[in-house]
Amino acid sequence: MNRKQQVARAEFCVAVYLRKVGEKKMEMVVFIVYCVLSYWVVGQTIYANKIQIGSMKDIFLTRFVLGVLLGLILIPVAILKKLCIH
C-alpha cells in the first residue's frame, strides 16, 4: 500500500468510528428526552390532582420508574388529555 491508500484507509476508519459514536450519542439524547417526558406525563395522568406524601427521593423514584415503564402508553394519553381539556 502506498501512502495515499494508507491515508484514505485511516480517514475511512475514523469516519466510521465517528459515525458510530454519533449514533450512540443520539440514542442517549432520545432516551433522556423520553425519561423527562415520561416523568412529566406521570404527573399529568396518574398523579393529577393528588397530593403525594413521602420523601422527595421516594416520590421522584416512583414517578421516574412508572414513567419509564408506562411512558409509551401514558404519553399519548397525556397529549390527548391536554388537547381535549384545555
pLDDT for 61-83, tens place per residue? 999 999 999 999 999 999 898 89
Give me 41's grid cell.
406525563
Looking at residue 24, its amino acid is: K
Cα–Cα–Cα angle for 36, 38, 41, rounded to 5 degrees = 115
Split into its structural domains, the chain has a count of 1
Contact yes or no for 79/45 (Cβ under 8 A): no
CA distance 81 to 79: 5
Residue 54 belongs to some domain of the structure: yes
Query: For residue 29, which amino acid is it?
Result: V
Structural domain includes residue 16: no
Question: pLDDT digits over 4-18, tens only?
Answer: 777 677 777 777 776
- Print the domain residue range for 46: 25-85
Residue 45: inside a domain, yes or no? yes
